[in-house]
Amino acid sequence: MNKKELNELKRQIKWDNDLLYIPRIASAYASISSEEKKVLSYEIKDFSLMSEEEGTLYLNIMKKSLAGHLGKNLLQLKFPRENGQPNPAQEQLYALVGSKLEDEQMFRSYVDELLEKGHYTNHVFILAAYCEYSVPLKSKNLEASYEDGYKYDFILISVVPAVQTNIGLYYNRDTNEVERKVNSEMEIRPNPDDAILYPCFSERAADVNHVLYHAKNVKSLNPFLIEDVLGCTMSMSPLDEESGFSQMLIGMFEDRINAQVLTSIHENIYDSIAESEEDPSELTYSKSDVKKLLEFSGADEVSMSHFDEVYSKVLADQPLKAVNMTNLDKMAIKVPDVTIQVKNGGDTKVKMEMINGRKCLVIEMDDSIEINGIEMKP
């Protein structure tokens, strides 16, 4: 599943779309405390009978369940097989899709497993949507044909936190006082902590051997859901790869590191992602690839002599995803009291120079500079 296919699927999640049919949705609300986990309600609804206002609320949760970057907070996981035997978690999801959410007991069983193994600690709302996407065929001239196509059946499961909202201050006529009022009801916000898309949408068709896992952000991956619920493994998380690569550079360069080499490393990784013919989220650097990258970026011989030892110690010779080796959107330069955010492509305008015997960051200016919304000519 690549970025293009993900975006195609996300575009379908909207009200009044003839290509995406949502027969029904199932939901559960659970109260979770240190003492017990209790499901307070189960419900299966016919989506077509909902008003646009109500249906849009559910669609918003579904959209947020596919938000993010592949390889970061969106992970395409392959179901492992032992001795050629089917994976139980895969079979469970396959059966859930096949049921079209008509089997309430099957849905209840999956909710119980999510709550038992997912390690959730607060109130949660679990939403499952069964969907049928009529995938239009595309001709060589990229024109879509809606008459002959393929039907992609999938299920999207979202685990959404429910929080008690603070209404704030209000005037109480009975006591003639201004008081703080707390809402006793729980608000379900459309920002899932976790989500599962099965099967994956790869090469514009169903890939039953992979599942897409969504986390709110790269720092909140749920290893319990990945390993215990989905039965998948992950050697290094995106955050581990990101911090590991940084620690490897620090250990290798020590005090020999400089801004020019770091900028060059960042630019070369970004360029390799932009120029890659394969899915950027799958572009991987082996240990030897990283070594070539650093040499090409201008790393000095002394630092390179420490590369093999430091890489093995910090990263255990594991390959790295390119998207986890750099920030795809910007580069941050920090000094005490000052932080400069530089968009990709603009980092060549920031240089480190010695001026009057002091190290300075120098920013190249073109036509003008803007300070607090006021444009100033150089």
Same domain (yes/no): 162, 190: yes
Residue whose entry in the numeric block shows the structure tokens 């999801």: 93
* Whether pLDDT at 352 is above 80: no
* Whether pLDDT at 145 is above 60: no
Predicted pLDDT at 146: 54
CB 184 within 8 A of CB 143: no
Burial of 127 (0-12, 13-18, 19+ CB in 10 A): buried
Same domain (yes/no): 86, 145: yes
Residue whose entry in the numeric block shows the structure tokens 């599942």: 211
The model's confidence at residue 369, banded by pLDDT at 50, 70 and 90, is confident
Same domain (yes/no): 39, 19: yes
- Amino acid present at 144: A
Angle of helix 287-296 relative to helix 259-275, nearest 10 degrees, comes to 120
Mean pLDDT along residues 21-49: 92
* Whether pLDDT at 142 is above 60: no
Model-level pTM greater than 0.85? no
Predicted pLDDT at 40: 92
Mean pLDDT along residues 133-150: 68
* Whether pLDDT at 237 is above 90: no
Residue from 208, 187, 186, 188 nearest 197 by CA: 208
* Whether pLDDT at 104 is above 90: yes
Structural domain boundaries, residue 364? 238-376
Predicted pLDDT at 365: 73
Name which residue leads in pLDDT, 334 or 174.
174
Q: Tell me the CA distances in angstroms from 30 to 21, 37, 104, 325, one per residue in order.
A: 28, 7, 16, 38
Exposure class string for 291-328: b at 16+ Cβ within 10 A, else e: bebbeebebeeebeebbeebbeebbeeeebbbbbbbeb
Domain endpoint, select from 175, 198, 229:
229
Cα dihedral across residues 325, 327, 333, 334: positive or negative = negative
Predicted pLDDT at 348: 62
Mean pLDDT along residues 114-128: 92
Same domain (yes/no): 256, 197: no
Strands (E), 16-123: 20-32, 37-46, 74-78
Query: What average pLDDT does the chain have?
Result: 87
* Whether pLDDT at 358 is above 90: no
Same domain (yes/no): 335, 188: no
Same domain (yes/no): 257, 318: yes
Q: Tell me the CA distances in angstroms from 110 to 144, 196, 232, 317, one per residue in order.
A: 37, 12, 17, 38
- Calculate what percentage of the chain has a pLDDT beyond 70: 91
- Report the Cα 294 to chain-centroid distance in Å: 28
* Structural domains of the chain, count: 2
* Whether pLDDT at 72 is above 90: no
Predicted pLDDT at 193: 94
Domain endpoint, select from 200, 229, 258:
229
Same domain (yes/no): 335, 281: yes
Residue whose entry in the numeric block shows the structure tokens 């179901």: 79
Stated as kind and residue range, the H or E segment containing 93 is helix 88-99
Predicted pLDDT at 345: 59
Mean pLDDT along residues 321-345: 75
Domain endpoint, select from 206, 229, 252:
229
Calpha distance 39→369 (Å, rounded): 57
Same domain (yes/no): 243, 225: no
The model's confidence at residue 377, banded by pLDDT at 50, 70 and 90, is low
Predicted pLDDT at 347: 60
Same domain (yes/no): 28, 50: yes
The model's confidence at residue 329, banded by pLDDT at 50, 70 and 90, is low
Same domain (yes/no): 163, 251: no
* Whether pLDDT at 33 is above 70: yes
